[in-house]
Structure 1
Amino acid sequence: MALLGHLTVNSSPDDVAEAIIKETIRRGYQPEESIAADSTGRQESGLRPKAVNGAWRGIYQQDASYPGRDDPNENIRAFLDRLDVKRKSAGASSDIWKNIFWLQQRPGERTADLAFANGRQAYLTEIRSKRDAAVADYKKYAGVAVADNRPDFNEFALWSPNCSGRNGTKVDLFLLHTQEGGGGDSAAEDLAKYLANPASQVSYHYTGSQAADNGVTVVDCVDTDDASWSVLDANPRSINFCFAGARASDSRDVWLSRSRVIDVAAYLAVQDAKKYGFTARVLKPPYSSNPPGISDHRYVTQWLKIGTHTDVGDNFPWDYFEQRVAFWAGTATTTPTTPTTPTAPVKRFPKDYTDRELLEYIAAQLGPWPQLGQNAKGENLTLVDAFAEFKKAAA
Structure 2
Amino acid sequence: MLLLEKDSPLADSIAVSPNFSDSGNYDRKSKWVVLHTMETGENSSIAENIGAGWFTNPNAQASAHYCVDDNSIVQCVNEGDYAWASGPTGNLNGIQIEMAGRAAQSRADWLDDYSRAMLERTAALAADICKRHGIPVRVLTDEQVARGEAGITTHASLARVFRETDHSDPGPNFPWDFFMERVQAHAGGNGGSVNEPAPAPRAASVAPAAPAAPRRIAMNGVFYPDRTLEVSRDLDPNSPAVAKYQPWSPIRYDSYVLANGYAWISYVSYSGERRFVAVGPDDGRNDTTWGSGFFN
Indicate the TM-score class for this superposition, using the shorter chain for normalisation.
0.5 to 0.7
Residues 253-292 of structure 1 mapped to structure 2, 5 A cutoff: 253-257=108-112, 258-283=115-140, 287-290=142-145, 291-292=149-150
State the superposition RMSD in angstroms. 2.6
**Shift in Å, 1:230:** 0.3
Larger Rg: 1
Unaligned 5+ residue runs, structure 1?
Answer: 1-25, 33-152, 211-215, 343-395
Number of equivalent positions: 184
**1:289 counterpart letter in structure 2:** Q
1:197 corresponds to which of 42, 54, 57: 57
The question of whether the paired residues in 2 share the 8 Å contact of 1:167 and 1:236 is answered with no
**TM-score, length-normalised on structure 1?**
0.43
The answer to whether the aligner puts 1:237 opposite 2:96 as a matched pair is no
Question: Secondary structure at 1:289's aligned position in 2?
Answer: helix
Alignment match, 1:188: 47
Cα separation, partners in 2 of 1:312 and 1:183, compared to 1, 3 Å = same
**Any idea what the Cα deviations from partners look like across 1:215-270, whole Å, max 9, x if unmatched?**
x21111111111100011121111011113x1100111111121121122122112
What is aligned with 1:313?
Answer: 171
Q: Corresponding residue for 1:206?
A: 66
AA aligned to 1:326 is Q
Kindly provide the amino acid, as one letter, of the partner of residue 293 in structure 1: G
1:320-339 matched pairs, under 5 angstroms: 320-332=178-190
Q: Which residue of 1 aligns with 2:231?
A: none
Q: Which residue number in structure 2 is paired with residue 76 of structure 1? A: none
Cα displacement (A) at 1:167? 5.5
Q: Alignment partner of 1:225: what SS?
A: coil
Give the Cα–Cα distance (whole angstroms) in 2 for the partners of residues 226 and 199 of structure 1: 19
Q: Distance in 1 between matches of 2:138 and 2:179?
A: 11
TM-score scaled by length of structure 2: 0.56
Q: Is the contact between residue 11 and residue 75 of structure 2 (CA under 8 Å) also seen in structure 1?
A: no
Q: Percent identity?
A: 32
Offset of 1:31 from its aligned partner?
Answer: 7.1
Give distance in 2, aligned partners of 1:154 and 1:31. Answer: 6
Closer, same or farther: CA 174–154 of 1 in aligned 2, 3 Å:
closer
Q: Unmatched 5+ residue regions in structure 2?
A: 191-196, 198-226, 229-245, 250-296
Could you tell me which residue of structure 1 aligns to residue 5 of structure 2? 28
AA paired with 2:161? W
What CA distance in whole angstroms lies between the structure 1 residues aligned with 2:123 and 2:55?
Answer: 22
Cα distance, 1:174 vs structure 2: 0.5
Displacement of 1:200: 0.6
Greater share of strand residues, 1 or 2?
Answer: 2
Mapped contact 1:182–1:191 kept (Cα < 8 A):
no
The AA in structure 2 aligned to 1:249 is: A
Q: Which has the higher contact order (CA 8 A, sep 6+)?
A: 2
